[in-house]
Amino acid sequence: MSGGYRLTPDDLTTQVTVLAALGDRADGLVRTAGELARRLPKLGTAPPALHLAKQLRDAAGHPGLTGEVTVASAELSRLHQDLAATVADYVREEHDVAGSLGAS
């Protein structure tokens, strides 16, 4: 089979595993971003420093970094679920086809 591509269930399962690991790392980023958003930077007590600290905290909060990472993590999770379901369907169909060819 020259110039073609061979797709095996093991290849697909490996991709699902890799995607799950990426999802775990994204969840870790969500936790870290949330911790960053809860922490008020120590820039001093002068009004400009307090204003800057609040802006930095807001940028890390839900509408900022934490929100963006949360959305990315949810998308990655959805992609992982879709890929896992596709792999399961593929393996089931492959098994059914192999069974019907063997029964002939």
CATH classification at residue 23: 1.10.287
Can you tell me the distance from the alpha carbon of 75 to that of 93, in angstroms, rounded to the nearest whole number? 27
The number of domains in the chain is 1
In a domain, 2, yes or no: no
Supply the pLDDT for residue 85: 92
User: Which pLDDT band holds residue 89 (cuts at 50, 70, 90)?
Assistant: very high
In a domain, 102, yes or no: no
Q: Which domain holds residue 70?
A: 9-97
Share of the chain above pLDDT 70, in %: 96
Of the listed ranges 7-16, 55-64, 66-75, the least confidently predicted one is: 55-64
Q: Given a cut of 60, is residue 104 above it in pLDDT?
A: no
Distances (CA, A) of 34 to 20, 58, 66: 21, 11, 6
pTM of the model: 0.66
Q: Given a cut of 60, is residue 34 above it in pLDDT?
A: yes
Supply the pLDDT for residue 2: 65
**Are 80 and 16 spatial neighbours (Cβ–Cβ below 8 Å)?**
yes
Distances (CA, A) of 99 to 9, 58, 93: 16, 59, 10
**Are 25 and 75 spatial neighbours (Cβ–Cβ below 8 Å)?**
no
Distances (CA, A) of 49 to 2, 3, 54: 65, 62, 9
